[in-house]
Amino acid sequence: MSEDVIYSDVVFVKRNEIGSNDPDQSQLDVYTEKKLKDLQKLHSALNDNFTAVLQDMHDWQQNLSKALDDSACPKDWEYHAGKCYFFSTNTLDWTKSRDACVSDGGHLVIIKRKDEQEFLMSIITKYKESFWIGLTDEKNEGQWLWVDNTELSPDERYWYGNEPDNWTGSRGESKAGEDCVIITQDGLKSWSDAFCSKSLRRICETRSSRQP
Ligand SMILES: [Ca+2]
Ligand SMILES: [Ca+2]
């Protein structure tokens, strides 16, 4: 049956609303009710299809975004805001960690923005371990320098609790104290100074070909 015929049937029903005892009218009511149910089914099916299309678009967008991030950095490096970050699985002391990052084409991470600190936290929370970052006061006690020799900004520092405390050990056996900085999973303020000789994982950083 064509749509024109359906339309004229519906109009006919409207014009004959008053004559409810008419057998022809009852037949028409049944017919109209059936058509209404068919339309409701069609509407529901269209609704389901629309939801599925929206979901497909969302998945496609996610995949595209992930593909762009993956192509922006070397394998096993994570992309964030124009930079790539490597979270090592092996452990080394701070100096060897610094050198290993250089060998891999980067440097120990230098954290100069809050969103960068937040990004690093979001990753290391998954690992539940501490990592070396590129900050030390090895040359002059209390003068904190990044591995590119820039000074630690008073506005962008994320020390945990009473850190840095230049702890010298439980019996004062390490007179030089703690000179190298770790990032731990303690929330936004998560840096501590630690003994540079400790063997820990590291975070390396390098520029990405993809700019934010
Ligand atoms: Ca120190
Ligand atoms: Ca400390």
- Do 57 and 86 belong together in one domain? no
Cα(101) to ligand 1 centroid in Å equals: 22
Q: For 193-210, what is each residue's pLDDT tens digit?
A: 999 999 999 999 999 988
Domain that holds residue 39: 3-70
Cα(128) to ligand 2 centroid in Å equals: 18
Cα(38) to ligand 2 centroid in Å equals: 72
- Do 145 and 177 belong together in one domain? yes
198 occurs within a structural domain:
yes
The model's confidence at residue 68, banded by pLDDT at 50, 70 and 90, is confident
Question: What mean pLDDT is predicted for residues 40-54?
Answer: 92
DSSP characters over the chain: --HHHHHHHHHHHHHTSS-TT-HHHHHHHHHHHHHHHHHHHHHHHHHHHHHHHHHHHHHHHHHHHHHHHHHHS-TTEEEETTEEEEE-SS-B-HHHHHHHHHHTTSEE----SHHHHHHHHHHHHHHTS-EEEEEE-SSSTT--EETTSPBPPSSS--B-TT-------TTS--TT---EEEE-SSSSS-EEEE-TTS-BEEEEEEE-SS--
**Residue with more model confidence, 205 or 71:** 205
Domain end position, chosen among 70, 91, 117: 70
**Residue with more model confidence, 24 or 75:** 75
Ligand lying closest to the C-alpha of residue 161 = 2
The environment of the single-atom ion ligand 2, i.e. residues with CB closer than 5 A, is 163, 165, 167, 178, 192-193
Which pLDDT value is given to residue 5? 52
- Do 49 and 147 belong together in one domain? no
Cα(31) to ligand 1 centroid in Å equals: 87
- Do 112 and 185 belong together in one domain? yes
Cα(194) to ligand 2 centroid in Å equals: 5
Cα(33) to ligand 1 centroid in Å equals: 83
- Do 59 and 96 belong together in one domain? no
Ligand lying closest to the C-alpha of residue 159 = 2
Domain CATH code at residue 91: 3.10.100.10
- Do 37 and 89 belong together in one domain? no
Given a cut of 80, whether residue 2 has pLDDT beyond it is no
- Do 99 and 12 belong together in one domain? no
Task: Name the amino acid, one letter, at 210.
Answer: R
Domain end position, chosen among 43, 70, 97: 70
Which pLDDT value is given to residue 6? 53
Cα(89) to ligand 1 centroid in Å equals: 26
Domain end position, chosen among 49, 70, 91: 70
Q: For 105-164, what is each residue's pLDDT tens digit?
A: 999 999 999 999 999 999 999 888 999 999 999 999 999 999 999 999 999 999 999 999
- Do 101 and 121 belong together in one domain? yes
- Do 43 and 10 belong together in one domain? yes
212 occurs within a structural domain:
no
- Rounded to two decimals, what is the model's pTM? 0.71
Q: Is 84 exposed, middle or buried (0-12, 13-18, 19+ CB in 10 A)?
A: buried
Count of domains for the chain: 2
Cα(140) to ligand 2 centroid in Å equals: 16
